[in-house]
Amino acid sequence: MHAYRRNLILLTVALLGSMPIAPCNLFGQTTEAPDRRLANTHWGANYFPNVELTSSKGEKSLFFDDLIKDKVVMINFIYTRCPDACPLETAKLSEVYQILGDRVGQDVFMYSITIDPDYDTPEVLDQFMQTYQIEEGWEFFTGKEEDILLLRKKLGLFISEVNKDPLDHNLSMVIGNQKTGRWMRKSPFENPYILATEIGTWLHNYKTPMRRTNMYQDAPELRRLTQGESLFRTRCSACHEIGRAPGSTMKPGPNLLDVTTRRDHEWLVRWIQEPDKMLAEKDPIATELFEAYNKLPMPNLRINDKEVEMLLDYIKTESRRMKKVMEVEAIAAQQEVEVMDCCQKNEEMVIDSSSAENSESKAELTSNNAAPGNLKFANHEKTSSGKNLPKPFSLISWACGLGLGILAFRARKLA
């Protein structure tokens, strides 16, 4: 009997020992352990290295505590000496930066970290930011090489099989909300409006259903892009525009309107294919463009002869279209009808108070000893409600009056 009781007690103790003990505080009250199934319990201070980084302004920051904790962030890795991918990547992300506007630095934070810390000092990074017109909210960092390598690995942006060259790096970036634990790897070459929506909207309220105002069946049919237009959109549009649409953001590179007629064809072909070599050779036009546009390097796009010709053909065709569009918009923007010099109203000519008291019905004329064709009239035509008439109506009234005067003169002469 005693053996049976002893075995029962031992079994009970073993079962109790295998059960998890609920955490408690000093007052004996149990507290709930964090649910490890939730993403925000995984990607916290125990995962992200809290290494020290130095900004372009020379300020020190801890990666987790100061830069990403409880924030919505975009993080990519670049180096300023990169001849091709990094300039294009930075230019593309600058479009996202412009779309997000004042939100960058407030509830969205953009970070670019160099993988070449020996060369990319804070001063070099600051000059790089000025080249791309990057101001507040988007910061560039440098630090110790081993710390940056650790960050790349933790963020999933380092592939040992691929990144054998120290200056070779993954072109992906990450966006995430550290507080909710939602992280995504993205391409910086995606549509900037899609990226801005993902960073500025989805990462903030992804659990809240979006209010849909447009129906799928009402979407316009997408037109097929030529290969030349596709090349321009993916390789060139981040830095260049063809013509200028009203209200559009100024691009960091030169406007390509009619560039196929302004530049020699052979020069354009080589400039598109070998801009780095032409700058190294001190080509006069290439050097002049480099200096004129804030020392912004033209990246080597790595495209072949056939692609260059298709790209130039698109620029030529789009230039013709944009010139017509700009002409129509200029005409539509004109709210005043241009009249001949002899009929111009003198906007500076007014009837002063003394003249109005003497004769309210007389308009003041000024000749300044000029010929009759230079006489100018005060523009004070008003409606019965006292509002100024628009100039086109004033011109029509003047023309009608002149026509009636001519008819009256001819009628008197015939009589």
| Per-residue pLDDT, 51 | 95
DSSP 148-169: HHHHHHHTT---TTT--STT--
What proportion of the chain, given as a percentage, has pLDDT over 70? 64
Listed range (59-68, 75-84, 261-270, 337-346) with the worst mean pLDDT: 337-346
pLDDT tens per residue across span 224-247: 889 999 999 888 888 899 988 766
- What pTM was estimated for this model as a whole? 0.59
Q: Which CATH class is domain 52-205?
A: alpha beta
Residue type, 36: R
Q: How far is the C-alpha of 273 from the C-alpha of 96, rounded, in Å?
A: 27
| Number of helical (H) and strand (E) elements in the chain, helices listed first | 14, 10
User: Domain residue spans in the chain?
Assistant: 2-39, 52-205, 227-333, 342-351+366-414
CATH topology of domain 227-333: Cytochrome Bc1 Complex; Chain D, domain 2 (1.10.760)
- As to burial, measured by CB atoms within 10 angstroms (0-12 exposed, 13-18 middle, 19+ buried), residue 271 is buried
pLDDT over 90 percentage in the chain: 39
In a 13 Å sphere around the CA of 227, the CA atoms on its Cβ side amount to 7
Q: State the residue for tokens 């100061």.
A: 66
pLDDT 10s digits, 360-383: 343 333 333 333 333 333 333 444
Residue 274 Cα distances to 167, 242, 267, 269, 271, angstroms: 21, 22, 10, 9, 5
List the single range of 38-52, 308-322, 335-349 with lowest mean pLDDT: 335-349
Per 3-state DSSP, the chain is made up of helix, strand and coil in percentages (nearest 5) of: 45, 10, 45
Euclidean distance between CA atoms 22 and 31, whole angstroms: 7
> What residue has token string 């989805």?
202
